[in-house]
Amino acid sequence: MSQNIKWDRRRASPEVYEDVYQSPASSEEFICKGDMSMLFVEYPKCTTCQKARKWLEGHGAAFTTRHIKDEAPTTEELKEWRARSGLPLKKFFNTSGLKYKELSLKDKLPGMSEAEQLVLLASDGMLVKRPILVGDDFVLVGFRENEWTEKVADSLG
C-alpha cells in the first residue's frame, strides 16, 4: 500500500457526487488525486463506525461521509448495494439495534418480500447495519478489518 497518496479536502459539488453515487452531497468529500473516492455511510456515535473511520484515515483513503440517520439509504441504493455486495438482504439489517428489536423484525422478516424489506430499510437509517463502504468495485457492510484490508487497502496502492 502506498503511503504517498496525495489528496485535497474540498466541498464536493452535487454533480460530482451524483455522478459517483447518484445521491445529493450531504457532507465534505475527500477526493484523492489519481485514485478512488468511496462513500462511507456511518452513524458517528457508533463505536464500530468510529473504528472503521479511523482505519480509513490511517490508510489514507479518500471518502465521503454520510450520516445514516440523517440521510438513510434509498430503496434504489440498497437494492444496488445488495446486488454488488453479494450478500443476502438480511445482512443489511442492524439486528443489534433497538428499532429492529422494537419492531420484532426477527419474526417478521421471513414473511416479507424483498421489496417490502427494502422499503422498510429505507424508511429508517437506524434499521441499516453500519458502517457501509461503497467503492467502485465493492460494497462492504459492517467493519471486519481483514475484509476491509483485502478489498480497500489493496486498491489504494
154: which 3 cell numbers? 489493496
Residue 130 sits in a domain whose CATH number is 3.40.30.10
Residue at 82 is within a domain: yes
> Dihedral sign, CA of 82, 84, 87, 88?
positive
Cis peptide bond upstream of 131, omega within 30: yes
Residue at 14 is within a domain: yes
45: which 3 cell numbers? 456515535
Residue at 98 is within a domain: yes
Instruction: State the average pLDDT for the chain.
Output: 80
- Is the pLDDT at 8 greater than 50, yes or no? no
Of the chain, the percentage scoring pLDDT greater than 90 comes to 66
pLDDT at 138: 93
pLDDT at 12: 39
Residue at 154 is within a domain: no
- Is the pLDDT at 23 greater than 90, yes or no? no
69 with 125: CB under 8 angstroms? yes
Residue at 105 is within a domain: yes
Residue at 58 is within a domain: yes
26 with 71: CB under 8 angstroms? yes
- Is the pLDDT at 141 greater than 70, yes or no? yes
How many domains is the chain partitioned into structurally? 1
Tens digit of each residue's pLDDT (9 = 90 or more) over 60-95: 888 999 999 999 999 999 999 999 999 999 999 999
Return d(Cα 23, Cα 106) in angstroms, integer.
30
- Write out the residue range of the structural domain in which residue 48 sits: 7-149
Closest by CA position to 134, among listed 121, 146, 123, 148? 148
Closest by CA position to 87, among listed 55, 150, 132? 132
pLDDT at 36: 56
**pLDDT range class, residue 2, cuts 50, 70, 90:** very low
pLDDT at 131: 98
Q: Rounded mean pLDDT of 114-142? A: 96
Residue 84, classed as helix, strand or coil, is helix
Residue 21 CA: distances (Å) to CA of 17, 41, 96, 124: 6, 12, 27, 20
Residue at 81 is within a domain: yes
Pick from 25-34, 35-44, 87-96, 112-121: least confident = 25-34
Residue at 156 is within a domain: no
pLDDT at 60: 86
153 Rama sector, left if φ>0, alpha if ψ -120 to 50, beta otherwise? alpha
